[in-house]
Amino acid sequence: MPPRIIKHFLETGELEEDELVKALAKVFAEVFAKVTLHSFAMDLPTAIPKQLPDGTSYVFIPTETVMSVEGVKILTGSYTLALMDEGQWRLMRISDLEQLFLLTKVYPEFRGLKFPGDSTEILKE
């Protein structure tokens, strides 16, 4: 999780640092109790480099995930956003509205940008 996102949660008083760590661990445990991850891949050779109007670089990385949820095998094609935060590249999912809302709230420089869509396909076993 990018540091500015963590800082946002801590500054808004939504969560204390230890609560944030516990909440994230709980979410991951709940998700992985219901989901079987078969594969996950980021296609770096076909990543799409971009720049914000101020010249800041960011990258959309094509991402593919195959998982089973309640016995149904699903292929999702999406993009992962790579952005600079505190001088390091950080990765952030941008595949749903809640994530995009949080991104543009914490990183207002990304407001108004067009983000690539994602796809979902049910696979036969």
- Whether pTM exceeds 0.85: no
The residue ranges of every structural domain in the chain are 35-109+116-123
Q: Which of 58, 61, 88 is nearest to 77 (CA)?
A: 61
3-state secondary structure 79-108: EEEEEEECCEEEEEECCCHHHHHHHHHHCH
CB 83 within 8 Å of CB 70: no
- Per residue of the chain (125 residues), give pLDDT as tens: 788 887 887 888 766 778 877 887 888 788 778 888 999 999 999 999 999 999 999 999 999 999 998 889 999 999 999 999 888 999 998 888 888 999 999 999 999 999 998 999 999 86
What pLDDT digit, counting tens, does each position of 88-111 carry?
A: 999 998 888 888 999 999 999 999
